[in-house]
Amino acid sequence: MRIRQKDLWTTFFLIISLFGLWADLSYACEYCLLTQGFSPLQTTTGLGIRIDERYTVLKDLYHGTDKVDNPGNKETFLAMQITGFYAINPELTALVVVPYVRKTMKDWNEGMSMFMEGKGIGLGDIALMGRYTFYKRHELASTTLVAGQLGVKLPTGATDKKDNMGMPMEAHIQPGTGSTDLLLGLNLSHAAGRVTLATNLLYFINGEGETGDAKHEFGDTLNYDVTGIYHIYPAMPPGPTVSVALGIAGEWRGNETEDGANIGGKGHVVYLNTGILFIPGPKWIVELNYRPAIYHDLPVTPDGEEQMGEDYKAVLSLTHLL
């Protein structure tokens, strides 16, 4: 994939991703801001909007790295995320991200010999972000960009949704976290000819929130990815372009607490990162991203419970430059 000075469409991939929606029985990072796409640095000029439809499935239980028997527990997360961005100058871009989520859970309760079911539907946590490209090097055959990101997630989503028995659901099923959180990110992309290599890191410092009447704090999280993008058509611009992506992505988080007590949640998941990027014209971008999980390390909680791990994530995105 070729990057031009005018557009700067290279990958910095998921630098505004937010993590932290795990609880003691689940390893799910699905409350908002999971995608900014394969080519966000093209938004360094102008004004635009991005719409993401994101779907995540969790259907397996893990004890460390081993998959264990599942009595039928399952969780799904469907979210529509709208991102507005504005380039204040060629280096600094401001972003506002608004998610609307629909989360479902089905969890076997051994003591009651029945499934607990519930839904968390509504506005998620809104985030305000700033991205600064502090290094640019344009040469005849290549372009290198390095950008940092700073943001804050606001507690705008509900945290009091209840299951079919009238009990507050676990934190990762709630639309919001109830906490104000800080994001620190760094990304690097290098494009040469048809190939772009992107490496990205995001560290998420979580504050204290709530779930029902309980004080809750998700463990700090780290998101990373290394992705290669290959421009397959056409051989030379201009015209509509098609690219494919392949790489590795991962999510790590520390322990979480409830009313000051450690309830677990610590773990690490690695994904194969695949996708297709289609740019039909200078103002439109269409992306399809599929991430099957290929490695789980999810230790049992202090109560001895196994954790649920993601099966896959899928995202369909549309970006329009105004």
Predicted pLDDT at 46: 74
pTM: 0.83
Cα distance between residue 64 and residue 67, in whole Å: 8
Torsion of CA 152, 82, 266, 205, to 10 degrees: -10
Predicted pLDDT at 45: 61
Residues in the chain where the model's pLDDT stays below 50: 1-34
Predicted pLDDT at 23: 25
Predicted pLDDT at 219: 87
Predicted pLDDT at 44: 56
Cα distance between residue 100 and residue 79, in whole Å: 6
Domain positions in the chain: 26-321
Neighbouring C-beta atoms of residue 34, cutoff 10 Å: 25
Cα distance between residue 234 and residue 257, in whole Å: 52
Helix H or strand E segment including 238? none
Residue 143, both tokens? 């372009």
CB burial readout 121-150, b (16+ within 10 A) else e: ebebbbbebebebeebeeeeeebbbbbebe
CATH architecture classification, 26-321: Beta Barrel (2.40)
Predicted pLDDT at 13: 30
Asked whether 49 and 7 are in contact (CB, 8 A), the reply is no
Q: What is the pLDDT of residues 216-268, one digit of tens each?
A: 898 898 988 889 999 898 866 677 889 999 999 999 988 888 888 888 878 99
